[in-house]
Structure 1
Amino acid sequence: MLKRFWLWLGRLLGKLLLILLLVGLVGWGTGEAYYAWKFSGPVSAEEQIPADEAALTQTIIEDAIRIVEQHRDNTRVLRDAHAKAHGCVKAEMTVLPDLSPELRHGVLAEPGKSWQAWMRLSNGNAYPQFDSARDARGMAIKLLDVPGDKLLSSKATAGDQDFVMFNNSVFFVRDVAEYKQNFAAQADGHKVLAFFPSWDPRSWEIRHLFIALKTLAPAPDSPVSATYNSIAPFKLGPHNIKYRVVPDPLSCPPYQLPEQNTKLPNFLRNALYQQLSLDRVPACFALQVQRQNPQHYMPIEDTSVEWSEAISPFVTVATVKVPAQDFDSREQNLFCDNLSFNPWHALPEHRPIGGINRLRKAVYEAVSVYRHQRNDAPQAH
């Protein structure tokens, strides 16, 4: 009797598992077919600005101020994202001497030209946490003494050309409207509602949740061993492009980073210090650009979609070298904390495009001004 019961139960569970497997396969196939249809070209090569974007942006600024106040470090106001820096280091960007003429625009106009720069490497969270925590990682590069009028500048930032990146190829929101909903949920402390705003399954952002989970990745061995992406598109003269910075170890002396104690809260700073300050070995990168092909699904207004490298591969346009240096001083760390990075600190030839970039213009500037005023600090570059 008992034996027959167990056999019956086993057959039942087997059938249930088979049904679940079939349902999963059908769901996966349906999703693949849907996104293959949805993510098919052509797309617009021009920006498309929603009528309510300005109002949404103002609400997001208010939520960003709430977040920096929630994460105040004692009396000091931190950034609303990428609050913890691993280091702020001197760097040099050099345009390729044989760069293709069609890519010679803005700071890339003169082959062989070198620009001095500051590079800030950071975690993505709005509150400093252990480096072992899953998180996004960021890189911001500020070229110095770049002549010409910028799209956004103050007296302190008039010579700046900024590049702002993080270590995933896509963003977990598509546009300003979704950013507003997602950001408000986080500001209210309801992170689960960021991707499930209502009981209606049609409002759920499952694909974007998976992007967010992928973005919250384990720490790299070192801040200089990761690839960093612009996520949003930009102009490069007449072209619509995305850019990224990839490690280029072959352009530097061979180096093997000693094993780091990943239980330490700041082991990524330690890794950077080990290479640049103790072992005196530089780090090398390549700056690359990818051009939009609007005949394929490479949208300007949706940062959750990756542009296909098979259709439009990245090409190297410049090298970036971080020389051996001493960087971990109190004075330089404070200077780094007061730096303000904004992709709109840019020549018109590098104009940011797309909704997320238009949002950045207002939010980065507002939070920077608020942070510097509350910290009674000069807005250094």
Structure 2
Amino acid sequence: MLARLWLRLGAFLGKTLLWLVGLGLLGWLAATLWFAWHHSGPVPVEEQIPPGEAAMTQGIIQTAVRIVDQHREGTRYLRDAHAKAHGCVKAEVSVLPGLDPALRQGVFAEPGKTWQALMRLSNGNAYPQFDSIRDARGMAIKLLDVPGKQLLADQQARAEQDFVMFSHPNFFVSDVAEYAQNIGAQANGQKAMAFFPSFDPRSWQVRHLFIALATLAPAPASPTEATYFSVSPYKFGAANAKFRVAPDPQSCPPYSLPKQNQDLPNFLRSALNQQLSTDRIDACFVLQIQRQNPQKYMPIEDTSIEWKESDAPYESVAKIRIPAQDFDTPALNLACDNQSFNPWFGVEEHRPIGGINRLRKAVYEAVSDYRHGRNTP
């Protein structure tokens, strides 16, 4: 009797489990089909500015300034993101000789041209933390002595072109509205609320949570061994495009970095110092662009969407060389901390586009002014 009861209970539980698995698979299939339908081309090639974006931007500026206040070191005000630098180094960006005429745009218009540049390598977090902690890694490049009218009317004396990137191909927010909600939750110390803003499952951003977790990757052996992405799109002449900078060891002398002590808080700076200053070995990258194919799902207003290489391959436009140098001195580190990188420092041919870039225009300027004003003796 008792054995029969257990057998029936086991059969019931087995069938229930099979039903649950089946329903789960059907739900997964439905979600996959919905996502594929919702995220299919064609897409607009022009910016689509939603109502209320300007007001949300002002709120984000206030939150970003609050983060700067929260994370200052003593009397020193740091950036609201990418606060910890591994170093600022001199670099050379050389446009490829024989470049396809269609790729000769803006600062890449003259094949064989070499630009002198400044590069900042960093962690992504708003607070300086141990390099071994999972994080995004950043690269910002500033081309110097760039002729032509600057995008910002009050920055005409700069003569620069900046490229700002980090180590993941897509962002964990889609647009300005999501960014406002996300940064507000984090500034309030409610990180769980960043992706689950309410009890309503329709507001949950599970896909974006997975993107954020993927972004927080283990540290590379060195900043020179990571790949960096623009994430947001830019004009590339008449086209829309994203940028990528990838290691290019074949263009530099062979080098094997000695193993670093990753228990040290600043081992990525140590690795960079080891290669460039101690061993005197150059580091090399290739700069590539990915032009939008508007017939595919390659939106310019949603930075959570990775543009697939199968839809539009990356095309190399320049080589980057970081020559051996001494960069880790108090004076150079202070100059690095005082340096501003902004995708809006540049020329019309590479104008930033999309909501997140429109947000950057306002936030970068406001935070930079606030930080530098308080760091001035």
TM-score by length of 1: 0.95
Distance 2:48 2:324 in 1: 45
- Cross-structure match for 2:228: 228
User: Does the CA-based 8 Å contact 1:77-1:371 persist in structure 2?
Assistant: yes
Q: Which residue of 1 aligns with 2:43?
A: 43
Matched, 1:277 2:277: yes
The CA RMSD over aligned residues, in Å, is: 1.8
- Larger CA deviation: 14-23 vs 176-185: 14-23
> Aligned AA for 2:144?
L
Q: Does 1:98 align with 2:98?
A: yes
How many pairs align? 377
Q: Which amino acid aligns with 2:52?
A: D
What is the DSSP-based 3-state SS (H/G/I as helix, E as strand, rest coil) of the residue aligned with 2:274? helix
1:82 aligns with 2:82: yes
- Distance, in Å, in 2 between the alignment partners of 1:366 and 1:162 is 18
After the TM superposition, which residues 15-54 of structure 1 pair with which residues of structure 2 at under 5 Å, given as runs?
15=15, 17-54=17-54
Find the aligned partners of 2:11 and 2:218 in 1 and give their Cα distance.
41
Matched, 1:139 2:139: yes
Displacement, 1:152? Answer: 2.0
Q: Distance in 1 between matches of 2:5 and 2:264?
A: 54
Q: Secondary structure at the match of 2:243?
A: strand
Cα distance change on mapping 1:215 and 1:13 into 2, 3 Å: farther
Paired with 2:276 and 2:127, the residues of 1 have a C-alpha distance of 26
CA distance in 2 between partners of 1:196 and 1:144 (Å):
43
C-alpha spacing 1:190/1:161, structure 2 compared with 1 (3 Å):
same
* Deviation of the 1:28 alpha carbon: 2.1
- CA distance, structure 2, for counterparts of residue 55 and residue 10 of structure 1: 59
311-320 or 19-28, larger mean C-alpha shift: 19-28
* Residue pair 2:91, 2:323 contacting (<8 A) in 1 also: yes
Aligned residue runs from structure 1 range 1-381, under 5 A: 14-15=14-15, 17-152=17-152, 154=154, 158-376=158-376
- Match for 2:28: what amino acid? W
Q: Given that residues 149 and 158 in structure 1 are in contact (C-alpha distance below 8 angstroms), is that contact kept between their aligned partners in structure 2? A: no
Q: Work out the CA distance in 2 between the residues paired with 1:372 and 1:137.
A: 23
Deviation at 1:51, TM superposition (A): 2.1
Change (3 A) 1:10 1:158: same
TM-score (norm: length of structure 2): 0.96
Name the amino acid aligned to 2:170: V
Distance 2:154 2:255 in 1: 40
Q: How far apart are the structure 2 equivalents of 1:103 and 1:76?
A: 42
Aligned-pair CA distance for 1:49: 0.8
SS of structure 2 residue aligned to 1:138: strand
Could you tell me how far 1:189 is from its partner in structure 2? 1.0
Q: Distance in 2 between matches of 1:304 and 1:35?
A: 13
In 1, Cα distance between equivalents of 2:155 and 2:30: 54
Structure 1 residue 357: deviation in Å?
A: 0.3
2:143–2:162: 8 Å Cα contact kept in structure 1? yes
Q: Is the 8 A contact 1:89 1:118 kept in 2?
A: yes
Question: Can you give the 5+ residue segments of structure 2 that lack an aligned partner in the other structure?
Answer: none
Q: 1:313 to 1:75 in 2, by over 3 A?
A: same
Structure 1 unaligned regions, length at least 5: none
Larger displacement relative to structure 2 (251-260 or 166-175): 251-260
The one-letter code matched in structure 1 to 2:140 is A
Indicate how the Cα distance of structure 1 residues 15 and 258 shifts in structure 2: closer, same or farther if over 3 A, else same: farther
Shift in Å, 1:351: 0.3
Q: Distance in 1 between matches of 2:147 and 2:16?
A: 68
Specify the code of the residue in structure 1 equivalent to 2:129. Answer: Q
TM-fit CA distance, 1:14: 4.9
Alpha-carbon distance in 2 for matches of 1:260, 1:4: 64
Whole-Å separation in 1 of the counterparts to 2:119 and 2:287: 13
Residues 328 and 17 of structure 1, relative CA distance in 2, 3 Å threshold = farther
| 1:115 match: secondary structure | strand
Contact kept? 2:149, 2:156, Cα under 8 Å: no
- CA offset at residue 159 of structure 1? 1.5
Contact between 2:159 and 2:346, CA under 8 Å: does it hold in 1?
no
Aligned to 1:116, the other structure's residue is in SS state strand
Q: 1:232 touches 1:357 (CA, 8 Å); kept in 2?
A: yes
SS in 2 for 1:179: helix
1:88/1:121 contact within 8 Å kept: yes
Identity in percent? 68
Offset from partner CA, 1:170-228 (integer Å, 9 cap, x none): 00000111111111111111111111111111111111111011111111111010110
C-alpha change, 1:110 and 1:190, in structure 2 (3 Å) is: same
For 1:108 and 1:11, how far apart are their aligned partners in 2? 69
- Contact 1:157-1:345 within 8 A present in 2 as well: no
Compared CA separation, residues 18 and 103, structure 1 to 2 (3 A): same
SS in 2 for 1:61: helix
Offset, 1:162: 0.3
